[in-house]
Amino acid sequence: MNIEQVSWRPAKGKHNIWELTLHAAYWKYIVRRRLLNEEKGSFQLPGSNFFERPAEGYVDKKAWDKDVKLLVETHKSLRAAIANLKPKSLTGTASGSKYTILQTVNGIAAHDLYHAGQIQLIKRLYQAQNK
């Protein structure tokens, strides 16, 4: 994907691919933090949930590549945390959550699939508008 495609918005006020990428990274961080009972506030970017992109200083391919790297690293750390779970712990409650650990893990997987679908839709809309 090129920088124009990842920063393109399907409509005013709607998220672009870049923002959905960081949103996915943020929620992977939240789930990992809950699974490992880690302190709040250690995400690499200031803010929470959605991060406006492109924002000042974040309009080039290097910035996109850096944010993709954050997603990949966060995904790897979440996978490692899940791989280290003990089967008996799956029925316990995740730290800072009302859901079981199993529900939390299933939830983040569903979250990724949902936003992956959104990204595919945005890619098709972008291609249709830029023929």
For the stretch 91-114, pLDDT in tens is 999 988 999 999 999 999 999 999
Residue partners of 60: CB distance under 8 A and separation at least 6:
3
Q: How many domains does the chain have?
A: 1
Average pLDDT (115-127) is 97
CATH number of the domain within which 119 lies: 1.20.120
**In terms of residue numbers, what domain contains 14?**
3-129
E strands, 13-121, are none
pTM: predicted TM-score of the whole model, two decimal places? 0.93
Task: Inform me whether the pLDDT recorded for 44 exceeds 90.
Answer: yes
- Closest among 117, 11, 1, 121 to 68, alpha carbons compared: 1
